Amino acid sequence: MLRSALLTAARSEGIRRTVEANPLTRPVVNRFVAGTAPQAALDVTRELAEQGMSVTLDHLGEDTEDTVQATTTVRAYQQLLAALHRAGLAERAEVSVKLSAIGRLLPSDGDKIALDNARRICESAEAAGTTVTVDMEDHTTTDATLEILADLRADFPRVGAVLQAYLRRTEQDCRDLATKGSRVRLCKGAYSEPASVAFRDKHEVDRSYVRCLKTLMGGEGYPMVASHDPRMVAIASELAARAGRAPGSYEFQMLYGIRPAEQRRLASGGETVRVYVPYGTEWYGYFMRRLAERPANLGFFLRSLLGR
Ligand code: FDA
C-alpha cells in the first residue's frame, strides 16, 4: 500500500512542487544523488574510482514532453561524456539513459526522436571511449525500449539493456538477450505494476530474479547484477562460479548511497562493482522510488521535512 502510494506520488506534479520547495529535504536527497552540477558527478566518479569501483552516471530527468528539454538532456550527456574523457575517467564510467528523458513521450514520432537522440549519446560515448546502458521504465515501455535497444546495438554493440525480474515476461527476455556481446543489467524493478504483467509478491520477485540470473550467468553475454539484496548477491556469486565465470566476466551494480560498505567489500574482494550515480536538478521521481523501496528511508525523510 505504502509503496504504491509513494510510486503514485512520484508522478504527481503537486506533491513534486511541495517536496522540491522544502529546503529541509536536501540533506536526505543528497544521500542518493551526487549533486546538481556535472562537476559533482565527476567528483563522485573520481572518488569511487579511487576506491576501485566503476560508475554509471544518470543525468536525472524523465517523462519529458518537451522537445527543447529532450535536446538539452542529450547535450548534457554529451558534455558529461567529453568531461569524463578529459578527466581520464571514461574507462571507469559509462552513462545510463532513460528514453523518456530524451523524447520517447513526445506527441509525434516519440520513438524515432528517442532513437535518434540515443544514437547521438552513443556516438559521444564511443568517442569518449565508453558506452551507454538504456534504463528500463514502466511495463508499457518495455517493447519499445527493447526495439530501440536492438537498433542501437546494430551500430553500438556494447550498449546495455536493463531487464526487470518483477515482470512475468522477463525470463524469456533474458533468454533472448543472453547472447554473445550483450550486456544485461538485471534488477528487480522499481515501478508500480499490475498483477497481470508483474509478480507482486516479494518472494515471487526474488524467485524470478534467481531464474533470470541462472539464464544470464549460463548464457554468453555479460550479466550486470543490479541488486542490494545480500541473498541475490550471494546467489549471483555462486551461479557465476558454477558457470565457470571469473570476476570481470560479470559485474555487480548498486545505487549511490545504498550499502556503500558492501560495494567496497565486493570491490576489495576482486569483483567488478559499478555504482549508479544520479546527478542533476530533476531528482524528484528517482528519489521517490528510493523511498518506496524502503520504509525506513521514508521515516528519515518525513523527520527532515518536519525539521526534526
Ligand atoms: P530489495 O528491494 O529487496 O532490497 C534488498 C535490500 O537492499 C534491502 O533490505 C535494503 O537493505 C537494501 N535497499 C534496497 N533499496 C534500498 C533503498 N532505497 N534504501 C536503502 N536500502 C535499500 N529499476 C528499474 O525499474 N529500472 C531500471 O533501469 C533500474 N536501474 C537500476 C540500476 C541499478 C544499478 C540498481 C542497483 C537498481 C536499478 N533499479 C532499476 C532499481 C531496482 O529495480 C530496485 O528497485 C532496487 O534496486 C531495489 O531492489 P533490490 O534488488 O536492491 O532489493
pLDDT for the residue numbered 226: 98
Reading phi first (left if > 0) and then psi (alpha if -120 to 50, else beta), residue 129 is in left
Q: CB–CB of 266/242 below 8 Å? A: no
pTM of the full structure: 0.95
Average pLDDT over residues 34-38: 94
Please write the tens of the pLDDT for every residue from 166-201: 999 999 999 999 999 999 999 999 999 999 999 999
Cβ-proximal residues to 122 (8 Å cutoff; 6+ apart), any chain: 131, 132, 152, 155, 156, 159
Q: Tell me phi and psi for residue 236, to 5 degrees.
A: -60, -45
Q: Take residue 107 and report the three cell numbers written for it.
A: 506527441
Span of 20-34, 107-121, 159-173, 279-293 with lowest mean pLDDT: 20-34
Inside any domain, residue 243: yes
CA distance 246 to 249: 6
**Residue 141 placed within a domain:** yes
Q: Which pLDDT score is estimated for 307?
A: 61
Residue 308: per-residue pLDDT: 59
Give the CA distances from residue 187 to residues 65, 82, 172, 210, 290, in Å, rounded to whole numbers and listed in that order: 27, 28, 15, 11, 14
For residue 46, what are the domain limits? 34-282
- Mean of pLDDT over the chain: 94
Identity at 65, one-letter amino acid code: E
72 domain-assigned:
yes
Catalytic positions, please?
135, 185
Which residue is closest in CA terms to ligand 1's atom 14?
Answer: 228
Which protein residue has the closest C-alpha to ligand 1 atom 28?
Answer: 135
- Ligand 1 atom closest to the CA of 138, numbered from 1: 25
- Length of the chain as a residue count: 308
Is the per-residue pLDDT at 265 higher than 80? yes
Q: For residue 304, what pLDDT is reported?
A: 66
In terms of DSSP H, where are the helices of the chain? 2-9, 13-21, 26-32, 38-50, 67-86, 110-128, 142-155, 170-177, 202-218, 230-242, 260-268, 284-293, 295-305
- Share above pLDDT 70 across residues of the chain, in percent, rounded to a whole number: 98
In the structure, what pLDDT confidence band is assigned to residue 1 with cuts at 50, 70 and 90? confident
Q: Is residue 24 part of a domain?
A: no
* Residue 15: inside a domain: no
Q: What is the DSSP string of 86-152?
A: HTT-TTTEEEEE-GGGTTTTSTTTHHHHHHHHHHHHHHHHHHHT--EEE----GGGHHHHHHHHHHH
Residue 306 confidence (pLDDT): 67
Q: How many domains would you assign to the chain?
A: 1
pLDDT at 300 over 80: no
Would 297 be classed as within a structural domain?
no
Provide the percentage of residues in the chain whose pLDDT is more than 90.
80
Domain-embedded: residue 287: no
Distance 239 CA to ligand 1 centre (A): 20
Which residue minimizes the CA distance to atom 1 of ligand 1? 229
Torsion of CA 232, 284, 291, 137, to 10 degrees: -40
* CATH value at residue 212: 3.20.20.220
23 occurs within a structural domain? no
